[in-house]
């Protein structure tokens, strides 16, 4: 399944909404909001382009656009104002409020489609450029420790200080661990770029939630036992409709995150449920938490803020996980109560599974 762009249509007139949906739903995932306030709430669906009417009650398009620009998650989102107002002053006011383009009603359908297509490409290009810079920064910092863990033992092995074969094996193990860490870091960066660029598709099917979790836990069992952690599993929903490869990466990353930040003898809770037409997977740890104003920043880039409580929830895993959930039409968010618990929640739409004619990609080691 190709990664489709997400369009949020905002208009208080049901007829205008119907027109926009009919125009766009064949090529894009279309979301609808009938007021400015509802549009702000719908930013959770991570729209790529917003078609925003100006003349709306309570909160008009200009006010809504300014609110959108205040949301860090929408920094790359493209806003096209759609209005019957055609004066230069109206356009200028729109651009001052943060809009990227302005189109007047009645509009030509092909022109609007063309604008949406152009701004989708522009948004992708901006995200990739930012990602490139972040990756370079991340790699320049993140590779230092594993490289040191490879070079130092290698120098020891090549010297005359090795006393036995057993010593040599121990240093070889250290080299292997650090090389594996480095490999996973690079692989995650490559995957993130490929998915952001739409170079890899997803192939949803019904997956067993328990199997996904057990697979992720199997590689962490030694750490779980050493730290005396308790794993609680509560599955109201036993299956989830998602791409197998991406969900393995997401679940493994969230399980690893919960285990790493859990206190000794703490509890990690994994639960699932279905509500309406959505499936939820929640993973909760009892770590010291994340301050509320910085919860979103954990996903916002490759480096989480330094003031995250109780350690550094940083790196590629959470950024990659959110991307992998969003390309399937879902959401990944977090809530935290410092010194009590932190919960990461995956929300995915329920769809009727169909047999894909293309093979499902194998699981990744990242």
Q: Report the 10 Å Cβ neighbour count for 282.
A: 17
Q: What domains, with CATH codes, occur in the chain?
A: 6-124 (3.40.50.2300), 143-196 (no CATH), 204-349 (3.30.565.10)
Distance of CA 228 to the CA centre of its chain: 30
- 333: tokens are 């968010």
- Angstrom distances, CA of residue 210 to CA of 99, 198, 259: 45, 29, 17
Give the whole-angstrom CA distance, residue 364 versus residue 24: 34
Residues 6+ apart with CB under 8 A from 196: 124, 127, 128, 131, 323
Local confidence band at 270 (pLDDT 50, 70, 90 cut-offs)? very high
Q: Does an H or E element contain 94, and which?
A: helix 88-96
Which of 29-33, 205-209, 283-287, 348-352 is predicted with the least confidence, judged by mean pLDDT? 348-352
With vertex at residue 119, the alpha carbon angle to CA 113 and CA 125, rounded to the nearest 5 degrees, is: 140
In DSSP terms, 334 is beta-bridged to 344
pLDDT, one tens digit per residue, over 4-31 is: 788 999 999 999 999 999 999 888 989 9
pLDDT, one tens digit per residue, over 147-164 is: 888 888 888 888 877 778
What pLDDT, on a 0 to 100 scale, did the predictor assign at position 142? Answer: 67
């Amino acid at each position: 399944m190709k990664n489709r762009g997400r369009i949020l249509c905002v208009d208080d007139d049901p007829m205008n909404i119907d027109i926009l949906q009919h125009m766009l739903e064949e090529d894009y995932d279309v979301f609808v909001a009938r007021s400015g306030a509802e549009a702000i709430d719908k930013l959770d669906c991570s729209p790529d382009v917003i078609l925003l009417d100006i003349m709306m009650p309570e909160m008009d398009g200009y006010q809504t656009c300014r609110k959108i620009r205040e949301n860090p998650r929408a920094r790359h989102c493209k806003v096209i104002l759609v209005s019957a107002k055609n004066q230069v002053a109206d356009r200028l006011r729109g651009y001052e409020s943060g809009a990227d383009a302005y189109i007047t009603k009645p509009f030509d359908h092909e022109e609007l489609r063309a604008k949406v297509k152009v701004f989708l490409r522009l948004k992708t290009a901006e995200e990739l450029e930012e990602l490139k810079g972040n990756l370079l920064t991340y790699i320049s910092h993140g590779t230092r420790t594993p490289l040191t863990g490879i070079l130092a033992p290698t120098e020891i092995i090549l010297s005359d200080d090795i006393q036995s074969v057993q010593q040599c094996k121990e240093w070889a193990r250290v080299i292997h661990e650090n090389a594996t860490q480095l490999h996973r870091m690079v692989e995650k960066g490559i995957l993130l770029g490929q998915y952001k660029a739409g170079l890899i598709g997803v192939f949803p099917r019904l997956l067993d939630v328990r199997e996904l979790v057990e697979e992720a836990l199997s590689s962490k069992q030694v750490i779980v036992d050493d730290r005396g952690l308790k794993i609680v599993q509560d599955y109201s929903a036993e299956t989830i409709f998602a791409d197998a490869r991406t969900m393995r990466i997401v679940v493994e990353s969230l399980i690893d995150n919960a285990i790493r930040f859990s206190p000794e003898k703490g509890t990690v809770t994994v639960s699932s449920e279905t509500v309406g037409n959505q499936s939820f997977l929640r993973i909760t740890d009892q770590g010291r938490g994340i301050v509320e104003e910085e919860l979103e920043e954990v996903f916002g880039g490759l480096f989480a803020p330094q003031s995250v409580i109780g350690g550094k929830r940083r790196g590629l895993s959470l950024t990659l996980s959110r991307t992998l959930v969003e390309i399937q039409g879902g959401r990944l968010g977090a809530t935290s109560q410092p010194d009590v618990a932190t919960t990461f929640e995956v929300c995915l739409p329920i769809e009727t599974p169909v047999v894909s004619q293309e093979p499902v990609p194998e699981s990744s080691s990242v």
